[in-house]
Amino acid sequence: KENYRVLTAIDGLKALEILRNEYVNLVILDIMLPGMSGLEVLSEIRKIDKDVEVIMVTAVKAVKTAIEAMKLGASDYIIKPFDVEEIKFVIDKTLRSGELAHEVAYLRSELNKNFEFNNIVGQSPAMRQIFDTIIRVAKGDSPVLITGESGTGKELIARAIHLQSPRKNKPFVAVSCPNLPDNLLESELFGHEKGAFTSATDKKIGRFELADGGTIFLDEISEMSLSNQAKLLRVLQEYDFVRVGGTKTISIDVRLIASTNIDLKTAITKGAFREDLFYRINVVPLDVPALRNRREDIPFLVRHYFQKYKEELYSKTKKIQQNAMKLLENYYWPGNIRELKNVIERMLTLYGDSDTILEEHLPMEIKSGNNYHTSYNSNGLIELLDAESLDEIVSRIERELIEKALQKANGIQTRAAQILKTTRRILRYKMDKLGLT
């Protein structure tokens, strides 16, 4: 209990109950248990959570059983009797191995995502121009700055540039600058050596190093501190760096694509963004229009995501009512494509057993006439402030989706995570954030 939160169970059934309701990184499981045997419990654990690490505890005479457990998916085993230092060593080793395996799986999945043009939907003149620009830009190596409101699909476009480029068989590594505390961003980008700071218990490979030969995408680069901007500028000038706490210079070959949802020239005048960095990253500017400025694409986007989520959620729904489609086309979409995707997914999750998506199935802000497209004027900012914020809209949609998924999964979080096409860890994080128990 020195460094971990520990949950205990008197038998296998109690252990399985805990696993269904708690996020657990590692299970220490005795082979000899009352009722269910350790092997039976292990088999059930793998049905609940295939990723949790399991260490089997066995007596000398039961080593063959422990080896059988390894074949069933146990991470390691330890023989009784053992001392505290021995079990601590096995726990630490197992957790480190698990984290490394998850990191490798994550990086492979990121590289294998299919984000070619078929997932960038649009036939408007603005989007045709975007497609032409992607093809032209992809041939070179110059930095690209993608601008546009939140939710317009800037990362999707960055991935398309990478996949159309000569670097397409190398890594595409995305970094969300707002999601990383400033004091951790340098370590995340450039890595650190063991002992570089208090929590640096192992060497860490940074995102720039992982992206070597490929493309690195810095999402919302304006969120970087001036200090980290200076460090980034140096790397973009020299294409080498030193890990935090290190002495060895590491050379890299990467292409930078950055994005922002604010006017960086205004940020420069306010002293919040470096002018020299701006000119370094703004070699090829690419502006993505807001969804309300390319309304002719809305029906195509609705049909695209309707079909996508219909297949993913095994929905029986065949169509969207004409009146409902009209409301979707006329809505202002302050959250752009991200909000549209959430709305379609929500409707098919909540009403996927219906033959047709009706007007009454739409979210209140869409069906109640909160049509910012027709009402937006010189007082539009006040109207937007009086309505829900984007964060409020997204939180409300996420809450309803999670509650519906938990209901379908009979409260089993692992199944709910599978329904939502996410991990149990992310589901637990969102539930805690939304105050769901």
Every domain of the chain and the residues it spans:
12-110, 113-289, 293-434
How far is C-alpha 233 from the chain's CA centre?
A: 27
CATH (residue range 293-434) = 1.10.8.60
CB 173 within 8 Å of CB 215 = yes
Are 12-110 and 293-434 the same fold in CATH? no
CATH (residue range 12-110) = 3.40.50.2300
Q: What is the pLDDT of residues 46-71, one digit of tens each?
A: 888 888 899 999 886 667 787 888 88
Mean of pLDDT over the chain: 85
N- to C-terminal Cα distance for the chain? 25
For the ranges 192-196, 313-317, 381-385, the one whose mean pLDDT is highest: 313-317
Residue 77 φ/ψ, nearest 5 degrees: -145, 160
- CA separation for the pair 375, 308 (Å, rounded): 32
Better-predicted residue by pLDDT, 373 or 429: 429
Q: How confident is the model at residue 116 (pLDDT cuts 50, 70, 90)?
A: very low
Residue 245, phi-psi category: left (phi > 0), alpha (psi -120 to 50), beta (remainder): left
Residues near 300 by beta carbon (within 8 Å), at least 6 away in sequence? 121, 122, 123
What percentage of the chain carries pLDDT values higher than 90? 46
For the ranges 48-62, 113-127, 252-266, 360-374, the one whose mean pLDDT is highest: 252-266
Q: What is the pLDDT of residues 197-227, one digit of tens each?
A: 877 778 888 899 999 999 999 999 998 999 9
Q: Does domain 113-289 have CATH number 3.40.50.2030?
A: no
Is 259's pLDDT higher than 50? Answer: yes
Residue 387, pLDDT score: 54
Cis peptide before 34 (omega within 30 of 0): no
DSSP code for 288: P
Is 108's pLDDT higher than 70? Answer: no
* Global pTM exceeds 0.75: no
Q: What is the mean pLDDT of residues 124-133?
A: 89
Residue 318 φ/ψ, nearest 5 degrees: -100, -30
C-alpha separations of 405 from 137, 313, 318, 325, 410 in Å:
41, 11, 21, 25, 9
